[in-house]
Structure 1
Amino acid sequence: MDRRAGHDGLRDLAAAKAGRISAGRLHRPDLCHTVLSTFGNTNRGRHQRTAPPPNGADRGCFMGGRRMSKSFHWVQAAAVTALLLTAQSVSSIARADEVEDFYKGKVVTILIGHPPGGSFDLYAQLAAQYFSKHIPGQPTVVVQGMPGGGGSLAAAYFANKAPHDGTMLALLPESLAHTQLLEPKSSRWDVSKMRYIGSIADVTSVMMVRNGAPGQTVEQFHDVQSNVSCSGRTTSSSQAAAMLKYFTGVKFNMVCGYDSATASILAVFRGEADITTTVWTNWTVNYRQQMDAGEIRPVVQFGTKRLTDLPDTPTAIELVQDPKAKEALEFFAAGGDIGRALLVPPKTPDDRFQALAKSFDELMTDPDFLKDAKTRSIPIAPTNAAGVQQSVDRIFSTPPEVIALLKEAMEKGFEN
């Protein structure tokens, strides 16, 4: 079959499948000839050769000058299916080639909203180092920082001004969806219009107190005032202390305005503050020596359950008795399941999103990537795109009364 006949044949096969041409009879004798030649003659003993019908004859399928019997219909149907699948396969390959051609020679940027030194930078740099070889076309992958507002500045840029052609990804705070529900007027993004390609690891915020602080336990926090260092109010680490203050009545003096989690932690080591909170990964990777030396000690964790590494440290949920307060804290902790996740901005083409999600899954099983993470004590607990989306959907399905309670806790918890 020549190329023109092949194209016309695929068109008519598609029409047959759609019901525009009788499923029992294709009006293409040349195609019937090809089908018989390819798949064989069901009456091979009587008809060894096939040929198109004579001029002026009915344009149904003939075998050796006679109308094809019904026994051939199953062969015809099989041929239709096979050729349609072939056409679909060719189309998929073509799309894959288009994605590869697009990314070849390009630079893919991973945007973060925090300065170097924290867990966002840690995971972004690790991913960037090994991601390129898994993306079609193997583009260069770099990390760009846009610190400010606890990640809100980068989130606003990413949602509204970032290129949406698949050349920019972002690793933003896991609290984006929460903040959007709690402070819709000030949230200049819509998480529902973005798509996650996957999460490298879930995260749990852990509150630390410095050695020598006036209060050393949760019980003592009720009796003496403690200075709490924090960055922007949109970060889960800052919000954690505000919620604990509201729901348990601890005497926290919130000192927010530090430009990053790193700056907040250094304030504790300098004695400017007594308490601060950041994700457990940040503590274990960057401050293990200080923990081992007893300079800081964990007092509360903000996950739905206790971390394996911290079996004796209570969760904030355990510290409250009111069922509504427990529900609000569980809603807050759901962001930890999103964790350190990569996402694409609104309007990113579907084929490039799918390619990036597949590339992310491959990255998470890359032996070199995993070996490097293990050497640097960086936890890896990946979740694919569909799994992260489920976490996002759970957050957006939270009852309005729970959101209202948590919003009140945020607003009053930051007050001094």
Structure 2
Amino acid sequence: MTIKNLATSVAALALMSAPALAEVDFSGETIEWVIPFSETGGSAKWANFFAPLLAQELPGKPTVVVKFMPGAGSTKGANWFQEQEYEDGTLIFGTSGSTQFPYLLDDPRVRYEYSDWVPVMASGTGGVAYLNPEDGAKFDGSANNLKDVNFIYGSQGATRLDLVPLLAWEMLGMNVEPVFGIKGRGDGRLMFERGEATIDYQTSSGYLGASADLVEQGKAVPMMSWGALDEDGNIVRDPTFPDMPTFKEVCEATDGCETSGDAWDSWKAFFVAGFPSQKIAFLPNGTPQEVADTYIAAFEAVRARPDFAEFAAKQVGKYPMFVGNGAAKATKEATTVSPEAKAFVINWLKEAYGVTIK
């Protein structure tokens, strides 16, 4: 044996006999998945759907508990998470478009920075707007017969994800008066159920979880989905709601609504930021790579389950799930809009609602 071969053999033997690098193990641990909204909304249903699946795939099969920290349209919880640093891998945080939008609009209450966090999973969603039965009977695929109706809508705030439906309804020429201050979209649905609101919208998980039952009971009438994006970036029908017209279709059928120009371009920009990569799971700043990789592998295992697509379609809708590098790319897309779209929306917020972004 040559000296070179001997050295190689000794090195290989040393590697074989050396103790393996410590593996991440969550045996006996409880992982807290914090959601910055109330327990009645789509984000709650999203986290509650994924939490037990994640628990099964993480090493040691820990308990994953979803906790809620509503307030200030989710900025309260996001600001809290910004202050957290890695300790033992037992904290995960979930955001939605209502967390992304204040960040995109430079809301002064935002004290969090997405680039500090470690994204491990992201998933898209859609949204459905629906009407009370009386006004729903007037809907014919356009908003022409709805322009003389005064609607009430329970809203988390105009700078949250609600700006997508609020701007859409305005573009359709509808009179929708928002009641600001609710803590989550589930609270908006409850206002609708009690008759305190006459129009509502839910993300797909929230719609599938509760609002669809209102439709089946004859207490609500679907109006439109926001749609989905095809490979070329065009808005097409939402795969979860293929029989429902998109906002684009309703706009095209409504007098005075345009699917081109500044308003449309800005609506689409915020739709893209708020829905195709709508919900994102993060680990805190400082998380070691091996812990992030462990979470990524667990979410990949969830996605690879043979029953996942069917199970997810019923609970959160038929949307792509992004993991690892895909989640990082989705996060960038969800936290970026053009300067032109941002300027348009900031001006619209001031003119429509007296909201000034400083």
Same fold, TM exceeding 0.5? yes
1:109 aligns with 2:32: yes
Report which of the two has the higher share of helix: 1
- Residue 390 to residue 37, structure 1, CA distance change in 2 (3 Å): closer
3-state SS of the aligned residue for 2:183?
A: coil
**Corresponding letter in the other structure for 2:266:** A
Residue 410 of structure 1: CA displacement? 3.5
Please name the residue that 1:306 is paired with: 237
| Residue matched to 2:323 | 384
Q: Deviations over 1:202-259 (max 9, x none)?
A: 11121111112499442233223211122244541x2223212444442111112223
Structure 1 position 242 matched with structure 2 position 242: no
Q: For the Cα contact (< 8 Å) 2:226–2:238, is it kept in 1?
A: no
Structure 1 residues 259-298: aligned runs within 5 Å? 259-298=183-222
Deviations 1:362-409 (A, max 9, x none): 1222357667656x6443642223223223323455321221112223
Deviations 1:302-330 (A, max 9, x none): 24432132444232586242422222112
Deviations 1:137-182 (A, max 9, x none): 4332211111222322211111123655422111221343332121
Change (3 A) 1:170 1:143: same
2:247 equivalent to 1:315:
yes
- Residues 251, 385 of structure 1: alpha-carbon distance in 2 compared, 3 angstrom cutoff: same
Q: CA deviation at 1:347?
A: 2.1
Contact map agreement 1:242 1:410 (CA 8 A) in 2: no
Alpha-carbon distance between aligned partners in 2 of 1:136 and 1:159, rounded to the nearest angstrom? 26
Q: Which amino acid aligns with 1:209?
A: L
Q: Is the 8 A contact 1:316 1:329 kept in 2?
A: no
What's 1:220 paired with?
145
How much has 1:33 moved relative to structure 2? Answer: 4.5
| Counterpart for residue 127 of structure 2 | 205
Supply the AA of the counterpart residue of 1:157. Answer: W
SS at match of 1:111: strand
Look up the SS of the partner of 2:31 in the other structure. Answer: strand
Q: Distance in 2 between matches of 1:293 and 1:185?
A: 42
Is contact 1:198-1:383 (8 Å) kept?
yes
1:15-30 matches, cutoff 5 A? none
Conservation of the 8 A alpha-carbon contact between 1:254 and 1:415 = no
The question of 1:251 aligning with 2:175 is answered yes
Q: Which has the larger radius of gyration?
A: 1
- Cα shift at 1:269: 2.1
Q: 1:93 to 1:207 in 2, by over 3 A?
A: farther
Change (3 A) 1:116 1:91: farther
Percentage identity across paired residues of the two chains: 18
Name 1:13's counterpart in structure 2.
Answer: none
Gaps of 5+ in 2: 228-234, 252-256
Match of 1:74 in 2: none
Aligned match of 1:328 = 266
Rate the CA distance shift 1:359–1:296 in 2: closer, same or farther, 3 A. same
Are 1:178 and 2:101 matched, yes or no?
Answer: yes
Task: Give the alignment's Cα RMSD to 1 decimal.
Answer: 3.3
Correspondence list, 1:34-113, <5 A: 35-37=4-6, 79=8, 93-94=20-21, 97-100=22-25, 103-113=26-36
Mapped to 2, the partners of 1:337 and 1:202 lie a distance apart of 4
* Equivalent position SS for 2:215: helix
Q: Matches of 1:92 and 1:307 in 2, distance apart?
A: 51
Q: Number of paired residues?
A: 336
Q: Distance in 1 between the 2:97 and 2:331 partners?
A: 10
Contact 1:148 1:259 in 2 (8 A): yes
Describe the SS at the equivalent of 1:383: strand
Q: Cα distance, 1:118 vs. partner?
A: 2.5
TM value normalised by structure 1: 0.70
Report the TM-score, using the length of structure 2 for normalisation: 0.81
Distance 2:238 2:36 in 1: 26
Structure with more contact order per residue of length (Cα contacts < 8 Å, sep ≥ 6): 2
Shift in CA distance, 301/409, structure 1 to aligned 2, threshold 3 Å? farther
For the structure 1 residues 371 and 300, does the alpha-carbon distance in structure 2 shift closer, same or farther, using more than 3 Å as the test?
closer
Q: Distance in 2 between matches of 1:151 and 1:336?
A: 16
Say which is worse superposed, 109-118 or 303-312, in terms of deviation: 303-312
Counterpart Cα distance in 2 of 1:119 and 1:162: 27
Query: 8 Å contact 1:246–1:409 — kept in the other structure?
Result: no
